[in-house]
Amino acid sequence: MKIYSIICTRDKNLTPLTSNLVHTLSSYGVEVKLLVNQKSIFEAYKKGLKSCNANNNDIIICCHDDLVLTSSKTQFIASVAKCTDKKVGFVGPAGTTYLGKDAVWWNHDNWQAGYHRGFVKHYSMKDKQAHGTHYGPHGPVVVLDGLFLAATKEVWEKVGLDKPTYYEGEWDFYDIHYTSRAHLLGLQNLTITMEIVHYSAGDLAGRDSWHKNREAFIANTKLPLTLND
């Protein structure tokens, strides 16, 4: 089993954060594919998958470039390897068991109701430290957050990496599209134990293209999605 990682980044002159991520993944034995200044995350991930020369059971990770991984190599590999189970679709640090009609996976009412799963540390630029976000106990979910998604090559190809024709934006709601597709195909998405820090507050969720793609997803998906679908 080989593990690959596809990472989109803005500039060939890597930030210290991205350089550190590449170094960490490489030290874990992951073959990293960096894609610089891409026009679409959908096309980038599709291009990256083709460049991996992977077998069906090899693992492909698609993740953000602003992450710090502090899991041990053993823990990291054991966690991501859960996606090699034929019943499993995607694995990642955080997601929800219930995607409501607003299609916002981190919906706070649903969080308080106990639907969310996983754990991520978010780094605050304001107070210069990481704060742990406990979404809930790890387990099966209907969709996962796109900061880190892992699946076998077979699953990525079964789900399909093309941008939905009804999406307008090139960078938004890809994670909800991919992981909900896996769920509706009868695969089980899972949150996994991982020591990860995300250097982002998720503020891009407020941009116009995010709202447009969200609205398009809602218009083309029967919601809510639950584990019983």
Answer yes or no: pTM beyond 0.85. yes
What's the average model confidence in pLDDT over 122-145? 90
In a domain, 81, yes or no: yes
Residue 111 belongs to domain spanning? 67-226
Work out the average pLDDT over 135-143.
97
Predicted local confidence at residue 201, as pLDDT: 55
Strand partners for 152: 59
Say yes or no to pLDDT of 140 above 90. Answer: yes
Angstrom distance (rounded) from CA 164 to CA 156: 15
On whether residue 19 sits in a domain, the answer given is no
pLDDT at 55 over 80: yes
In a domain, residue 74? The reply is yes
Residue 4 domain flag: no
pLDDT digits (tens, 9 = 90+) for 184-229: 999 999 999 999 999 975 555 557 889 999 999 999 999 999 998 7
In-domain check, residue 28: no
Strand order in the sheet with 31-36: 31-36, 3-9, 59-63, 148-152, 88-92, 188-191, 140-141
pLDDT at residue 76, rounded to an integer:
98
Q: What six digits make up the tokens of 118?
A: 């996983």
Q: Helices 41-51 and 174-184 sit at what angle, rounded to 10 degrees?
A: 60
* Residues 8, 56: Cα–Cα separation, whole Å: 22
186 within domain boundaries = yes
Q: How confident is the model at residue 143 (pLDDT cuts 50, 70, 90)?
A: very high
Q: Which two tokens stand for residue 226?
A: 């639950």
Question: What is the band of 109 on the pLDDT scale with cuts at 50, 70, 90?
Answer: very high
Residue 124 confidence (pLDDT): 76
Does the residue 8 lie in any domain? Answer: no
Q: What is the largest CA-CA distance in the chain?
A: 46
Distance CA 29, CA 99 (A): 34
Is 123 a member of any domain? yes
Average confidence (pLDDT) over 155-160: 98
Alpha helices in 52-173 (DSSP H): 73-80, 108-112, 153-159
Please count the structural domains in the chain: 1
* pLDDT score at 202: 54
Long-range contacts of 201-210 (CB under 8 A, 24+ apart): 201/122, 201/124, 201/125, 202/106, 202/122, 204/171, 204/172, 207/172, 208/169, 209/168, 209/169, 209/170, 209/171, 209/172, 210/169, 210/172, 210/173
Say yes or no to pLDDT of 84 above 90.
Answer: yes
Which residue's entry shows tokens 């597709």?
A: 181
